[in-house]
């Protein structure tokens, strides 16, 4: 008997601001820049990539390209996307 699987899409499970905060907190804790870019892309998809791209002042295609795991977005792009998503970094000492 074969078990059927479906692709996992984290964006489908980011329904509240608290969901997004917990997801991004876990991702930032890993310390992997590629994972951070990918996670911001996941959150942007959950919130509507077109709207986030518009709010960040970048094209939708450019945003997809920058926020994929192989992408290498500039810090300025990351900051624009985070602002568009309504999230911010915090410092903890």
- pLDDT, one tens digit per residue, over 40-51 is 999 999 999 999
pTM to 2 decimal places: 0.86
Residues in the chain: 93
DSSP 8-state code for residue 80: H
CA 62 to chain centre: 14
What is the C-alpha radius of gyration for the chain, rounded to an integer number of angstroms?
Answer: 14
How far apart, in whole angstroms, are the C-alpha atoms of residue 25 and residue 3? 33
Residues 6 or more apart in contact with residue 10 via CB below 8 angstroms: 23, 42, 46
Between residues 46 and 1, which one has the greater pLDDT? Answer: 46
Comparing 21-25, 47-51, 76-80, 87-91, the range with the smallest average pLDDT is 87-91
């Amino acid at each position: 008997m074969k078990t059927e699987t479906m692709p996992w899409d984290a964006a489908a499970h980011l329904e509240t601001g608290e969901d997004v905060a917990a997801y991004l907190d876990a991702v930032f804790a890993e310390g992997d820049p590629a994972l951070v870019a990918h996670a911001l892309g996941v959150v942007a998809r959950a919130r509507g990539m077109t709207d986030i791209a518009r709010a960040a002042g970048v094209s939708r295609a450019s945003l997809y390209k920058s926020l994929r795991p192989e992408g290498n977005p500039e810090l300025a792009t990351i900051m624009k996307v985070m602002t568009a998503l309504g999230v911010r970094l915090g410092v903890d000492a």
